[in-house]
Amino acid sequence: MKELTIISGKGGTGKTSVVASFANLANNKVLADADVDAADLHLILAPEIKHKEDFKGGRTARINLETCTECGDCIERCQFNAISPDFVVNNIDCEGCGVCVYFCPVQAIDFPQNICGKWYISETRFGPMVHARLHIAEENSGLLVSLVRNQAKVLAEERGLDTIIVDGPPGIGCPVIASITGTSVILIVTEPTLSGLHDLERVGGLAAFFKITTMACVNKFDLNVEMTDQIEDYCTRHQIEFMGRIPYDTAVTHAMVAGKSIVEFSDGKVSDAVKEIWDKVERILKRLEG
């Protein structure tokens, strides 16, 4: 089974638009939206939810005041000052270390798991999709990214599908690392700006560290051809396979508003460029297979 993870150094590079088009063009695949903090692939793919589950991560102490003897041991031991003088745990300050639970002489402290979000298995017009949503201000997004990828693998095996296309989170933090570790190949979508080049250097460095075959393409390349040349040159010098250039076109925004991928929405130059890039990516995926 092959897994293609599409990432960008930051949001707003047009990554999701590329993923939605690949979803349309690829055969025998499962889609995985691993951008769990700000998922937006569903806006284009309009998934019909078939299965949903809570995502649990971390724990918070809760004192049962009827059992508590008010000995004060937990207040003294808590390194995070999370317990008030009247024995109420502050959910925000509690780090879930479990020390108070362990030492409470009368077992007056419950330690339930927190529900941090939800994950879903859905059907879309391009095939099955696993996606998730982390609740606002919740952490553990790396764990949820791993869960989404694992569920996509299970689904692919169950249905005999041989490709997983992952829409990765932006940046280079824990969720991105969770989205690329063990993947078959990475495509970085970047833009022709100095920050686009720096982002490529950072995520490219991360991919190189994990020794993963890496490809890149430049979106809206004609807004700065000179910078696009520099990015292509950087890729050539750092063993990043350069997949191509996508021109700027307002049709991309119109496609998004219409809830369509650009290759469904128009036959123009952007669609042609994205199809060419997909053909190259598909060849590399086949090469990895062989």
With CB under 6 A as the contact rule, which of the stretches 12-20, 35-43, 83-91, 261-269 interacts with ligand SF4? 83-91
- What is the greatest pairwise CA distance in the chain? 73
The residue within the footprint of ligand SF4, chosen from 6, 108, 262, 270 (CB under 6 A), is: 108
Nearer to ligand SF4, 108 or 263 (CB): 108
Nearer to ligand SF4, 10 or 62 (CB): 62
Q: At closest approach, how far in Å is the CB of 70 from ligand SF4?
A: 5
Q: Which helix (H) or strand (E) holds 59?
A: strand 48-59
Distance CA 231, CA 9 (A): 13
Distance CA 134, CA 131 (A): 10
Contacts of 150 (CB under 8 A, 6+ apart): none
Q: At closest approach, how far in Å is the CB of 137 from ligand SF4?
A: 17
With CB under 6 A as the contact rule, which of the stretches 60-68, 131-139, 155-163, 252-260 interacts with ligand SF4? 60-68
Asked whether position 82 contacts ligand SF4 by CB under 6 A, the answer is yes
CB 164 within 8 A of CB 4: yes
The residue within the footprint of ligand SF4, chosen from 11, 56, 58, 73 (CB under 6 A), is: 73
The residue within the footprint of ligand SF4, chosen from 11, 62, 97, 174 (CB under 6 A), is: 97
Q: At closest approach, how far in Å is the CB of 118 from ligand SF4?
A: 24
Rg (CA), the chain: 23
Distance CA 158, CA 86 (A): 52
Q: What is the DSSP letter of 83?
A: B
Asked whether position 62 contacts ligand SF4 by CB under 6 A, the answer is no
Distance CA 119, CA 99 (A): 30
Binding site for ligand SF4 (CB under 6 A): 61, 63, 68-74, 77-78, 80, 82-83, 87, 89, 94-100, 104, 106, 108-109
